[in-house]
Amino acid sequence: MRPLVVSLDQGTLCLTLSGDIDFVNSAPISQAIQEAVVQGRPALVRVDVAEVSFLDSSGLGVLVAALRAATECGAVFRVERPNANVYGQFEIAGLVERFGLADSDGGRSGAGR
Protein backbone atom coordinates (compact mmCIF):
# COMPACT_ATOMS: atom_id res chain seq x y z
CA MET A 1 0.00 0.00 0.00
CA ARG A 2 1.33 3.42 -0.97
CA PRO A 3 1.46 5.96 1.87
CA LEU A 4 0.11 8.75 -0.39
CA VAL A 5 -2.51 8.79 -3.12
CA VAL A 6 -3.15 12.10 -4.88
CA SER A 7 -6.15 13.04 -7.00
CA LEU A 8 -7.44 16.36 -8.35
CA ASP A 9 -11.11 16.76 -9.20
CA GLN A 10 -12.91 20.02 -9.99
CA GLY A 11 -10.59 22.22 -7.96
CA THR A 12 -10.29 19.86 -5.00
CA LEU A 13 -6.97 18.20 -4.31
CA CYS A 14 -7.57 14.97 -2.39
CA LEU A 15 -4.61 13.53 -0.52
CA THR A 16 -5.11 10.10 1.03
CA LEU A 17 -2.48 9.06 3.55
CA SER A 18 -2.14 5.53 4.88
CA GLY A 19 0.10 3.40 7.06
CA ASP A 20 2.92 4.92 9.06
CA ILE A 21 3.74 8.56 8.34
CA ASP A 22 7.06 9.05 10.09
CA PHE A 23 10.69 10.07 9.71
CA VAL A 24 11.31 7.21 7.27
CA ASN A 25 8.91 8.45 4.59
CA SER A 26 7.98 12.02 5.56
CA ALA A 27 10.39 13.81 3.20
CA PRO A 28 9.20 12.19 -0.06
CA ILE A 29 5.54 12.45 1.01
CA SER A 30 5.95 16.12 1.84
CA GLN A 31 7.70 16.77 -1.48
CA ALA A 32 4.95 14.99 -3.43
CA ILE A 33 2.25 17.00 -1.64
CA GLN A 34 4.08 20.29 -2.27
CA GLU A 35 4.36 19.48 -5.98
CA ALA A 36 0.68 18.46 -6.20
CA VAL A 37 -0.45 21.71 -4.58
CA VAL A 38 1.77 23.90 -6.76
CA GLN A 39 0.79 22.11 -9.97
CA GLY A 40 -2.91 21.73 -9.17
CA ARG A 41 -3.52 25.20 -7.68
CA PRO A 42 -6.66 23.82 -5.98
CA ALA A 43 -9.35 25.80 -4.17
CA LEU A 44 -9.58 23.07 -1.52
CA VAL A 45 -7.03 20.58 -0.17
CA ARG A 46 -8.59 17.61 1.62
CA VAL A 47 -6.34 15.19 3.51
CA ASP A 48 -7.94 11.86 4.40
CA VAL A 49 -6.04 10.25 7.29
CA ALA A 50 -8.51 7.43 8.05
CA GLU A 51 -5.94 4.78 7.14
CA VAL A 52 -2.99 6.31 8.99
CA SER A 53 -1.88 3.83 11.64
CA PHE A 54 1.00 5.84 13.09
CA LEU A 55 2.01 9.49 12.98
CA ASP A 56 5.13 10.91 14.62
CA SER A 57 6.37 14.50 14.73
CA SER A 58 7.72 14.14 11.19
CA GLY A 59 4.25 13.09 10.06
CA LEU A 60 2.78 16.13 11.76
CA GLY A 61 5.39 18.16 9.90
CA VAL A 62 4.11 16.74 6.60
CA LEU A 63 0.62 18.00 7.42
CA VAL A 64 1.84 21.40 8.59
CA ALA A 65 3.86 21.78 5.37
CA ALA A 66 0.76 20.80 3.37
CA LEU A 67 -1.26 23.41 5.27
CA ARG A 68 1.38 26.03 4.51
CA ALA A 69 1.44 25.13 0.81
CA ALA A 70 -2.36 25.27 0.60
CA THR A 71 -2.45 28.62 2.36
CA GLU A 72 0.21 30.05 0.05
CA CYS A 73 -1.87 29.18 -3.02
CA GLY A 74 -5.09 30.47 -1.44
CA ALA A 75 -6.68 27.06 -0.88
CA VAL A 76 -8.83 25.97 2.03
CA PHE A 77 -7.14 23.14 3.96
CA ARG A 78 -8.96 20.37 5.79
CA VAL A 79 -7.88 17.12 7.41
CA GLU A 80 -10.57 14.45 7.56
CA ARG A 81 -11.39 11.18 9.33
CA PRO A 82 -8.55 10.79 11.85
CA ASN A 83 -8.76 7.78 14.13
CA ALA A 84 -8.65 8.37 17.89
CA ASN A 85 -4.86 8.02 18.12
CA VAL A 86 -4.13 10.40 15.27
CA TYR A 87 -6.72 12.88 16.53
CA GLY A 88 -4.99 12.73 19.92
CA GLN A 89 -1.71 13.68 18.25
CA PHE A 90 -3.44 16.69 16.68
CA GLU A 91 -4.83 17.70 20.07
CA ILE A 92 -1.44 17.43 21.79
CA ALA A 93 0.17 19.50 19.03
CA GLY A 94 -2.62 22.10 19.15
CA LEU A 95 -3.55 21.51 15.50
CA VAL A 96 -7.21 20.46 15.72
CA GLU A 97 -8.57 23.87 14.78
CA ARG A 98 -5.85 24.60 12.20
CA PHE A 99 -6.65 21.31 10.46
CA GLY A 100 -10.37 22.15 10.23
CA LEU A 101 -11.47 19.54 12.76
CA ALA A 102 -12.85 21.81 15.50
CA ASP A 103 -16.13 22.49 13.67
CA SER A 104 -17.05 18.83 13.27
CA ASP A 105 -17.28 15.69 15.34
CA GLY A 106 -13.52 15.31 15.36
CA GLY A 107 -13.53 14.78 11.62
CA ARG A 108 -14.20 11.11 12.16
CA SER A 109 -17.55 10.89 10.38
CA GLY A 110 -16.13 11.63 6.96
CA ALA A 111 -18.48 14.59 6.60
CA GLY A 112 -17.78 16.44 3.41
CA ARG A 113 -16.60 13.35 1.60
Q: For residues 15 and 93, give the distance between their C-alpha atoms in angstroms, rounded to a whole number.
A: 21
C-alpha dihedral sign at 61, 65, 71, 77: negative
pLDDT digits (tens, 9 = 90+) for 16-25: 999 999 999 9
User: Quick one: pLDDT at residue 51?
Assistant: 97
Cβ-count burial of 32 within 10 angstroms (0-12 exposed, 13-18 middle, 19+ buried)?
A: middle
Q: For residues 43 and 34, give the distance between their C-alpha atoms in angstroms, rounded to a whole number.
A: 15
Beta bridge partners of 6: 15
Question: Does domain 4-93 correspond to CATH entry 3.90.580.10?
Answer: no
Beta bridge partners of 78: 46
What band does 102 get if pLDDT is binned at 50, 70 and 90?
A: confident
pLDDT digits (tens, 9 = 90+) for 7-50: 999 999 999 999 999 999 999 999 999 999 999 999 999 999 99
